[in-house]
């Protein structure tokens, strides 16, 4: 008799066994910390391939689990679903470090760095406003303009 965890494709150590026996959606979701509904959505929109059904239940092989991990990584880097599809397609064509996916990553990094610069400036302005001891708004605006001319925020 086969245990439930073995039928679901997870090993005793909690790893997903995606060898001969594919993992069911619940085991994959638990392992990746991702709701099963999200996995179904990714399948529905074509982010991951349509999964094989066994007795009406989705089963996931190692390739599908790897793609879900890729999606998680790309989301952590700030990519949108549309961008992740582009990354996936580019990576499939050329997975080398100098592959076609690199411009996507470089563009994302440039956008993040620009956003960091804007956030730092916002922080400086807020810090200046919070420490303002001006008697009037006009005085505060004058002080802000003077600080801007000196390059302080």
Ordered per-residue pLDDT tens for the chain, 153 residues: 444 444 444 443 334 444 445 789 999 999 999 999 999 999 999 998 888 888 888 888 888 999 999 999 999 989 999 999 988 888 778 877 677 778 888 999 999 999 999 999 999 888 888 888 888 888 888 888 887 777 765
Tokens 């991951």 belong to residue = 48
Measure Cα distances from 9 to 6, 16, 56, 107 in Å: 5, 6, 16, 39
Residue 59 β-bridge partners: 24, 52
What are the residue boundaries of the structural domains of the chain, listed by start? 1-99, 101-153
pTM: 0.66
| Rg (the chain; Cα; Å) | 25
The pLDDT of residue 7 is 41
Architecture of the 1-99 domain = Orthogonal Bundle (1.10)
Check residue 116 and give its pLDDT.
97
Please, is 40 exposed, middle or buried when counting C-beta atoms within 10 Å of its C-beta (0-12, 13-18, 19+)?
Answer: middle
């Amino acid at each position: 008799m086969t245990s439930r965890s073995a039928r679901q494709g997870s090993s005793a150590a909690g790893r997903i066994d995606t060898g001969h026996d594919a993992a069911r959606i619940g085991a994959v979701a638990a392992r990746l910390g991702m709701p099963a509904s999200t996995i179904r959505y990714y399948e529905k929109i074509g982010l991951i391939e349509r999964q094989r059904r066994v007795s009406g239940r989705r089963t996931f092989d190692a390739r599908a689990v790897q793609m879900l991990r890729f999606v998680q990584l790309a989301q952590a880097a700030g990519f949108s679903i549309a961008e992740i599809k582009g990354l996936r397609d580019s990576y499939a064509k050329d997975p080398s470090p100098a592959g076609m996916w690199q411009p996507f990553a470089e563009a994302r990094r440039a956008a993040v760095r620009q956003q960091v610069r804007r956030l730092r400036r916002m922080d400086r302005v807020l810090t200046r406003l919070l420490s303002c001891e001006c008697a009037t708004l006009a005085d505060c605006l004058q002080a802000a303009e003077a600080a801007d001319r000196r390059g302080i925020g």
